[in-house]
Amino acid sequence: MGRNIIVVGCGRVGSQLASMLSENGNNVCVVDQKASSFDNLGSFNGATIEGVGFDEDILVRAGVETADCVAAVTQRDNTNLMVAEVCSRIFGVPHVITRLYNPGHERTYEQLGLDYVCGTSLVAEEMFAKISSGHGAHIDSFGDFELLRFSLNLKERNLRQIRVSQLEKGHEIRIVAFERSDGRMSSIPTGESILYHGDSVLACVRHSRVASFSKWMQ
C-alpha cells in the first residue's frame, strides 16, 4: 500500500521526485506557489495545490495530518527549513527531508536533527532512496546492506561512551568512519576507538537489522 507524501516545490527536482514517487504507488500531493510550475509534472498521477509550502492551512489541505513523509525541495534554503520545522514540530510528520543548497549550513542542519540532501545533481534520486527506505539515516544501498549516516544516541542507555567493537557486536554492522560532534576530529576507527553521544557516524548495516539498530540513532 502506498504512503501519503507531500512534495513542496515543483521545479526540476520536485517534479522529478513527485513523478518517481507516484509511479511507485504512493499518494503524492505537490505544493508550489506558482500554478505554472505544475506544467513540469507532465503526466503526473497525483494532486497539486497552489500556495506557500509552510502555510499551515495549505499543508492541511495537502494532507499533512496523515502524511508519512514531506519533502521540501524549493529553491530557497530558508523556505525549506521553515517547511521542515512546521511539518515536524507542529504536525509531527514522521519523516521530513529537505534540499540544502548551501553546504555551509550542513552542521546546523545536523544539529537540528534534519534529514537533508545537499548537492546539485541526482538530488531527486537521493531523496527518492531516502523516502523509500523509510528513515532519515539512509545514504545508499549495497545488496543486503544499507549505508547510514546518523548521530549516535547513548543517552537512552545512560552511557557516556562506547567502543566501536561493542557497538558492532551482535548488530551485523560495520562502523566505517566517525566525526566528533564538535567537528574537530574525524577518523576511520578500529575496534578500540571510542565513540561519544552525538558523534556523527557512518555505518554499513544489514537491511534486516536497521529497525533494531535504530535505538542507537538520533
Distance from C-alpha of 113 to C-alpha of 46, rounded to nearest angstrom:
30
| Sequence letter at residue 124 | A
Measured over the CA atoms of residue 179, residue 184, residue 188 and residue 189, the dihedral's sign is negative
Distance of alpha carbon 73 from its chain centroid, rounded? Answer: 12
Domains of the chain: 4-135 (3.40.50.720), 141-216 (3.30.70.1450)
Cβ 67 vs Cβ 47: under 8 Å: no
- Residue 165 C-alpha cell reads as 567493537
Residues 6+ apart with CB under 8 A from 132: 24
215 CB-side CA count, 13 A: 8
In this prediction, residue 126 carries a pLDDT of 66
Please report the pLDDT score of residue 125 as a whole number: 64
Dist. CA 87–CA 82, nearest whole Å:
9
Per-residue pLDDT tens digits of the chain, which is 218 residues long:
678 999 999 988 889 889 888 888 889 999 999 999 999 897 788 999 999 999 999 999 999 999 999 999 998 999 999 999 999 999 999 989 898 888 788 878 877 778 888 765 556 666 666 666 555 566 666 667 778 888 888 987 888 899 999 888 877 789 999 998 877 788 999 999 999 998 988 888 887 777 778 788 87
SS3 content of the chain, % helix, strand, coil (to 5): 35, 30, 35
Residue 10: per-residue pLDDT = 93
User: What is the model's pLDDT at position 64?
Assistant: 96
- What is the model's pLDDT at position 47? 95
Q: Which three cell numbers stand for residue 38?
A: 505544475
